[in-house]
Amino acid sequence: MKRKIIGSVLMMLLAAGFFYQVNDQEKVNPLGIAGQTEAEGGLLANNSINSKKVYLTFDDGPSDHTDEILDILKKNDVKATFFVIGKKTSTAKKQYQRIVLEGHTLAMHSYSHNYEQIYSSVEAFGKDLKELQQYLYNITEVKPFIYRFPGGSSNTCAGDIKPYIRYINRQGWLYFDWNALSGDALDFSVSAEKLNQNILKDVRRQKVSIVLMHDLHETKHTVEGLEKLIKTLKGEGYQILPITKNTKQVHHVSMSTVFENVPK
Binding piece for Zn ion, criterion CB under 5 A, among 63-71, 120-128, 143-151, 250-258: 143-151
- To Zn ion, the closest distance from the beta carbon of 87 in angstroms equals 13
Cβ proximity to Zn ion: between 38 and 184 the closer is 184
Q: Is 150 in the site for Zn ion (CB under 5 A)?
A: yes
Q: How far apart are CA 258 and CA 165, in angstroms?
A: 7
Q: Is 59 in the site for Zn ion (CB under 5 A)?
A: yes
Binding piece for Zn ion, criterion CB under 5 A, among 22-30, 59-67, 157-165, 191-199: 59-67
Q: Which of 60, 128, 177, 215 binds Zn ion (CB under 5 A)?
A: 60
**Number of residues counted as binding Zn ion (CB under 5 A):** 3
Q: Is 62 in the site for Zn ion (CB under 5 A)?
A: no
Q: Using CA of residue 125, residue 128, residue 134, residue 140, what is the dihedral sign?
A: negative
Cβ proximity to Zn ion: between 108 and 233 the closer is 108
- To Zn ion, the closest distance from the beta carbon of 219 in angstroms equals 11
206-245 residues in contact with Zn ion (CB under 5 A) are none
Residues in contact with Zn ion by CB under 5 A are 59-60, 150
